[in-house]
Amino acid sequence: MKKTKLLALSLCAISLFFDSCAQNVGDDGIKSNTPLSKIDFRNKEKNGTVFSGRSARAAGDDGALTQSFVGVSRYNNYTFDGLTDEEISKIIKFEDSAAGLKVIFNTPETYKGKEIYQLLMTLEDESGAWSTQVSVAKSVMADDSGKVKDSFEFEYPLVYPNVSHKFWFQVYFENDLWGHWGYTVTPKHGKARVDTLPSDYVDSNYIKFENGLVMLNDVIPPEALKVSKAIALKLCNDPNDKWGGVQDKRFHVLKDLDYGQKQDGYIGDISNIDDNGDTIDMSLYPYFFVSMQYEYKIKNFDNLTFYSPTLSSNMYENIFFKKSVENRTVSKTIKENNNVTFGGNGYFDGLYEGDIAVTYGGDTFVPAVFVYGLDVYILEVKNGEYTLKFKKTISEYLEEGGSFANVEDNVVFTKLKTDSSEANLDKSSKTEITLK
């Protein structure tokens, strides 16, 4: 790879549900000595062609649509407000649609007039794992006052014709109708769907946290009209119970797919304001874990938001987030006055240098960058000397289109978003520099 390579920049955000079991504290979530089955979150047609979600033409079949009720799972002491299994079974009805499936929701009498918050529909794939999930826009479900309609419907495209699918539903009303109930349905139409997860699938094998980054391993992101990364941090009291006590706190962050890299999400400077808007003392929590899933849209299905399965890491000791933001660090770089010493081989370690002039921030110069603390130092390189031009937080650097530790032809480089394009800066072998 040549450092002179300039790339045109394509600029390409939560609802997140954790559903994995707690693991041992300290495990980084990646079993390096055991090859993983790659996880592919792209929807594909029956012939294997990737479906981008930018169009939604459906395939057809001469078979008949069939459906049957699977049953109800009740938990957390919620009882569906006294509804029987038979009454619950009548809530959902499927009909044929040229797009795939038409899903009809019939509101039980006991819930009419109540505010509805969310309806989720989740595919259980052939391995028994919960797979693609969809959330229905409130405008479909409710009237202008937010009260649930007596009946509403939507079309769903991510199925194969003449193939049996199992779907589970969850609905959230103002008095908390929890639990889930399921159906099997064989559609007549459908465009595409995601691959069945591998039999050895354990979500914590594919995700880990390292120095402010949530990183996925052996995962292919969806291709769709608009794709985002939904990232969550959950602070915990009990290392053996992710669901812990009521004091456990959750934080959500939504990033565009091009925010940094497709398989990584930076949360090193996450604020201490949790999902409820409360200010949290992060130092009170001894453990944490992280989760990530992809969120996307499909053309002509504006009222639906689709989600990949959630990947949740093992539990970690809370060393990083116990520190205040200004005292956190994500690299082994040491800066003492104007002397900078580089060490380590992580994402944010080392000096990255270019060799041609680019225009950045309205100024034209040959750039170099390094990370110290949670800041990116952007330098001008001239006659072997390094002059500080800009200093930005890592979040700012990533938000404007930069990224770290990309690899091409076994060469490690960083992308700097210039005023008109991208520039690749190769990782330098220098161990120290002096700033002017």
Whole-number average pLDDT of the chain: 86
**246-255 tens-digit pLDDT:** 556 888 998 8
Task: Give pTM, 2 decimals.
Answer: 0.85
What is the structure's pLDDT at 139? 96
Q: Does an H or E element contain 89, and which?
A: helix 85-89
DSSP collapsed to 3 states, 175-242: CCCCCEEEEEEECCEECCEECCCCCCCCHHHHEEEECCEEEECCEECCCCCEEEEEEEEEEECCCCCC
Query: What residues pair up with 190 in beta bridges, in sequence order?
Result: 59
What is the structure's pLDDT at 5? 30
What is the structure's pLDDT at 423? 94
Q: Which 8-state DSSP code applies to residue 282?
A: G
| Amino acid (1-letter code) at residue 175 | N
What is the structure's pLDDT at 329? 94
Over pLDDT 70: what percentage of the chain?
A: 86
Q: 424, 432, 326: which is closest to 386 by C-alpha? A: 432
Can you spell out the DSSP letters for 252-275? EEEEETTSS-TTEEE-TT--SB-T
3-state secondary structure of 141: helix
Residue 21 has pLDDT above 80, yes or no: no
| Beta carbons of 151 and 105 less than 8 angstroms apart | yes
| Beta carbons of 358 and 367 less than 8 angstroms apart | yes
